């Protein structure tokens, strides 16, 4: 009896993606990490197999898969290659602004080429002086007749240099905090847009992370998403729906590392028996598997809630919980997998070394896990609960 809530049809799709990941992506994972080059061949594989199409409705050329199935796809791919899992998650992150706040005209203009994978997308919120504190951003967008003139720069942008479409947040009213921020679509071929340094980094090495800058970058006024001043709201609505994708990446890493450590522990012998039969190792494996299953329960519940149309503070809370728990599990479990492999776990030839490095970022991006805890606690404080403690009123 499977523990997951998937229907037979969803399980069939999952199995197809699992096969694609094992046969076509797993053999590339080591080289993608080693070369730190963006894997365009994986993008091509996604294009051929309509993987990007899962993220978009049929009317825009997609296949309209559910949010739950998108999470399952990211999980399956991340079991073997977290960089390749991130390509799906980043495409969703960079498209959600248009899907949630775009006009019909904007959707028709941008979504079909994102659905086919001809264009990749990026989400550009972070700046050198503003990560967790996005209201401190300095990039500006000044209205000038039928255009906005954007100036400033963004840092640590996933897909910098490979994306065609960037969802950019800038202040239309620099005297205001959150309420001065607006959201825009910026195409990479717009004069005044440029890509700066691409960062060398600890993990997810095949994914580009870089600076983008705007130097009197003039974008059409009809590239504004929503109303002026609504950018922060749009940014947060996007994160409510994209954070579970990072949870799925974390869960994939954790399950991939557990599966590898289990196989290793069955074949590696010390003191006359497989290490899996030493109770301390068996106990670690049991904890790893249990954490993965608990994380999956929370993540899939979150996916189902998105599909059921749950919105607002309820979604904010469950999505932060799914991101927080799955990614903390990713770090714990991949670290344990390295421990189970002993010295071999520390050697690059074995994938758990890469998985542990890849796992770390999942606790940091799309809001650090400290920020997720703040978000969850803030929602808890707003909730009305029946008090169980005598004397508390």
Ligand X SMILES: Cc1cc2nc3c(=O)[nH]c(=O)nc-3n(C[C@H](O)[C@H](O)[C@H](O)COP(=O)(O)OP(=O)(O)OC[C@H]3O[C@@H](n4cnc5c(N)ncnc54)[C@H](O)[C@@H]3O)c2cc1C
- Which is the catalytic residue, given 75, 127, 230, 366? 366
84 exposure class (CB count in 10 Å sphere: 0-12, 13-18, 19+)? buried
Cα–Cα distance, 376 to 201 (Å, whole number): 29
Give contact residues for ligand X (rule: CB under 6 A).
123-126, 131-132, 156-158, 201, 209, 361, 364-368, 370-371, 374
Q: Under a CB-based contact definition with an 8 Å cutoff, are residues 86 and 207 in contact? A: yes
Cα–Cα distance, 372 to 262 (Å, whole number): 31
Tokens of 114: 């994102």
Nearest residue (CB) to ligand X, 6 versus 195: 195
Would residue 229 be called left, alpha or beta, if left means φ above 0 and alpha means ψ between -120 and 50 degrees?
Answer: left
Tokens of 86: 């991130």
Which residue matches tokens 């519940």?
301
Tokens of 9: 């049809």
Nearest residue (CB) to ligand X, 51 versus 137: 137
Cβ count near 9 (within 10 Å): 9
Does 366 participate in catalysis according to the annotation? yes
Nearest residue (CB) to ligand X, 231 versus 345: 231
Nearest residue (CB) to ligand X, 251 versus 371: 371
CB 135, min distance to ligand X, A: 12
CB 249, min distance to ligand X, A: 12
The torsion angles phi and psi of 258, rounded to 5 degrees, stand at: -65, -45
What residue number has its CB nearest to ligand X? Answer: 131
Q: Nearest-CA neighbor of 330 among 157, 75, 24?
A: 75
Tokens of 100: 């949630």
CB 34, min distance to ligand X, A: 18
Cα separations in angstroms, 366 against 134, 197, 336, 363: 12, 20, 25, 9
CB 387, min distance to ligand X, A: 28
CB 278, min distance to ligand X, A: 36
Nearest residue (CB) to ligand X, 221 versus 377: 377
Active site residues: 366
């Amino acid at each position: 009896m499977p523990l997951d809530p998937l229907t037979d049809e969803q399980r069939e799709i999952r199995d197809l993606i699992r096969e694609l990941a094992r046969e076509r992506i797993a053999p590339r994972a080591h080289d993608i990490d080693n070369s730190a080059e963006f894997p365009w061949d994986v993008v091509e594989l996604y294009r051929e197999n309509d993987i990007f199409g899962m993220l978009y409705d049929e009317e825009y050329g997609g296949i309209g898969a559910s949010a739950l199935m998108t999470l399952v796809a990211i999980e399956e791919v991340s079991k073997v290659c977290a960089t390749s899992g991130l390509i799906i998650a980043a495409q969703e992150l960079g498209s959600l602004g248009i899907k949630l706040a775009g006009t019909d005209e904007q959707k028709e203009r941008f979504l079909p080429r994102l659905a086919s994978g001809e264009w990749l997308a990026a989400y550009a919120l972070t700046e050198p002086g503003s990560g967790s504190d996005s209201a401190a951003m300095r990039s500006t967008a000044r209205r000038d007749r039928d255009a906005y003139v954007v100036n400033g720069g963004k840092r640590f942008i996933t897909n910098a240099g490979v994306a065609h479409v960037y969802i950019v947040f800038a202040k239309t009213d620099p005297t205001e905090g959150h309420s001065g921020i607006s959201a825009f679509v910026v195409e990479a071929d717009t004069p005044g847009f440029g890509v700066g340094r691409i960062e060398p980094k600890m993990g997810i090495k095949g994914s580009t992370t870089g600076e983008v800058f705007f130097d009197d970058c003039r974008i059409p006024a009809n590239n504004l998403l929503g109303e002026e001043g609504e950018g922060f709201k749009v940014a947060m609505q996007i994160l409510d729906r994209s954070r579970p994708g990072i949870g799925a990446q974390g869960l994939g890493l954790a399950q991939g590392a557990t599966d590898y450590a289990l196989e290793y522990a069955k074949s590696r012998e010390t003191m006359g028996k497989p290490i899996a039969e030493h109770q301390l190792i068996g106990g670690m494996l049991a904890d790893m598997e249990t954490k993965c299953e608990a994380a999956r329960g929370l993540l899939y519940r979150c996916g189902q809630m998105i599909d059921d149309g749950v919105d607002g503070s309820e979604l904010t809370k469950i999505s932060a919980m799914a991101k927080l728990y799955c990614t903390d599990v990713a770090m714990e479990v991949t670290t344990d997998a390295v421990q189970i492999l002993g010295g071999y776990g520390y050697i690059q030839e074995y994938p758990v070394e890469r998985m542990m490095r890849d796992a770390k970022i999942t606790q940091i991006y799309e809001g650090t896990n400290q920020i997720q805890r703040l978000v969850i606690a803030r929602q808890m404080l707003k909730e009305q609960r029946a008090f169980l403690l005598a004397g508390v009123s």
